[in-house]
Amino acid sequence: MRQVTLRGTPYEMGRQHGEAFADLVAAAIQMVVPEDRFPADHTTRVLAQVERNLDNVFPESLEELHGIADGANVPFADLLAYNSCQEIGRMQQGCTNFVLVTPDHGVVHYKSNDVHLEALKFHVYLEAHPDKGRDFIGVTWAGTVWMNAGVNEAGLTYGGGSLPNTDSDWDHGIPANIALRYFLQYPAGVEDALALVERTPIMSHGHNLVFTDPAGKGAVIERTPTSLGVRRLEDHALWASNHCLVDRVLPNLRTDNEAFMANSHGRYDLLQQLTTEQPHSLEQMIAIARAHAEPTSICQHGPVAHSVIGYVMIPAERRMLIARGRPCENEFKEFTFAAAESPAATGA
């Protein structure tokens, strides 16, 4: 997996990112938001609102995006459209998260990225040392200020999954995928993360946000633009797929895609079964990440989605284990803070 170490101001980090992954950034834009995919007037209107709202909520994201665009030599408008693709036109994604309490490692957190197979090549690993907030490691899509999964220097972990919601906040909200990055960069623990999520307006794309920290706390935050619900780790395990459980959030869940909803409920029910055996262990977590069952698997091979990458995050140890490719077919390799002296892109 290609890697980069980022340091400095948002613009400086963005330029380092863009220069490191210029080829991937251009290819991702062409795949995710090709010129003829959405009506030009619609895209223009959405991006104007996105830019205004980002400037009010996380203006540093715009600085970093300008840096990426300059570093990768792509038009800023194209890059902003790529980063705002879920707001221009929703794309289905179905990711799984679960948390286990282990005697040897404390809480451990797993997340899969369940998308389409072509997306794997755009997943890149980064270690970031921003001038504000906390250092963090994690995986994102090349050319974005998103965050798929990661651990910050305080040991906070983030992973999440999409919610097919029906509500929106176009006047104030920002693209949820962009917000995810700052939910990892700024908080010190689960309670800080919850507070930041509560005060951050989201434009249109709902999420199940899952956080853990070295104190043993864990939470699923069901977040849509107009509702929020919290499920906390209170026993030995906690999990989330792509539907809601909290009463105040349920009315905003879109349920007309019956195959997707069946898949989400199937993974949720399977996790309930697979997490029963105790005491929990890191090895058990990896086995569950690789689990196949009928009619629904944790490691998905289609037709609804494909598990193209899997992450195990260990908050007390500030490290991740990452399987690039389907977790059932690939080994989990360790990643932790390397604190390289200068920005550099490596790997293939």
The answer to whether 123 and 286 have CB atoms below 8 angstroms apart is no
78 and 114, same domain (yes or no): no
Mean of per-residue pLDDT scores for the chain: 95
Q: Is residue 348 part of a domain?
A: no
Please state the pTM of the whole predicted model: 0.95
Judge if 169 and 205 occupy the same domain.
Answer: yes
Same domain (yes/no): 264, 281: yes
- Cα 175–chain centre separation: 12
Same domain, 306 and 262: yes
- Please report whether residue 347 resides in a domain: no
Is 184 inside any structural domain? yes
Do 256 and 196 fall within a single domain?
Answer: yes
* pLDDT higher than threshold 90 for residue 310: yes
pLDDT of 255 reads 92
pLDDT above 90: residue 348 = no
User: Each residue of 221-255: pLDDT tens digit?
Assistant: 999 999 999 999 999 999 999 999 999 999 999 99
Q: Is 67 in the same domain as 142?
A: no
d(CA 260, CA 248): 21
Q: State which of 27, 58, 88 marks the end of a domain.
A: 88
Residues 236 and 269 in one domain: yes
| pLDDT at 304 (0 to 100) | 84
If asked whether residues 56 and 170 sit together in one domain, one would say no
Sheet holding 206-212, edge to edge: 227-232, 218-224, 206-212, 157-163, 149-152, 136-141, 123-130, 3-8, 345-346
Q: Average pLDDT of 141-163?
A: 97
Phi and psi torsions of 123, nearest 5°: -80, 125
Residue 28 sits in a domain of what CATH number? 1.10.10.2120
Residues 103 and 120 in one domain: yes
Residue 346 lies inside a defined structural domain of this protein? no
Using alpha carbons, select from 205, 152, 156, 199 the residue that is nearest to residue 176. Answer: 205
- Does 207 fall in a domain? yes
Report if residue 141 sits inside a domain: yes
Q: Is residue 124 part of a domain?
A: yes
Question: What pLDDT is recorded for position 339?
Answer: 54
Task: Give me the mean pLDDT over the 121-148 stretch.
Answer: 98
Give the pLDDT score at 34. 87
Which residue's structure tokens are 């939910």? 183
Evaluate whether 211 touches 160 at the Cβ level (below 8 Å). Answer: no
What confidence category does residue 343 fall into, taking pLDDT thresholds of 50, 70 and 90? very low
Q: Closest by alpha carbon to 193, among 165, 173, 221, 169? A: 221
Quote the percentage of the chain above a pLDDT of 90.
91
Please give the average per-residue pLDDT across 2-15, as a whole number: 98
121 and 77 share one domain? no
Q: Of 70, 88, 106, at which residue does a domain stop? A: 88
Res. 295: pLDDT tops 50:
yes
Q: Is the pLDDT of residue 188 over 70?
A: yes
Residue 202 pairs in a beta bridge with 174
What residues form DSSP beta bridges with 229? 222
On whether the CB atoms of residues 73 and 279 are closer than 8 A, the answer is no
Residues 257 and 161 in one domain: yes
Domain count, the chain: 2
Task: Give residue-wise pLDDT tens across range 30-88.
Answer: 999 988 888 888 999 999 999 999 999 999 999 999 999 999 999 999 999 999 999 99
The domain spanning residue 329 has which CATH number? Answer: 3.60.60.10
Q: Provide the pLDDT confidence category of residue 342 given band limits of 50, 70 and 90.
A: very low
Range of the domain at 287: 97-341
> Where is the domain boundary, 32, 60, 88?
88
Q: Are residues 53 and 149 in the same domain?
A: no
pLDDT digits (tens, 9 = 90+) for 75-121: 999 999 999 999 998 777 789 999 999 999 999 999 999 998 999 99
Is 52 inside any structural domain? yes
Indicate if the pLDDT at residue 5 is higher than 50: yes
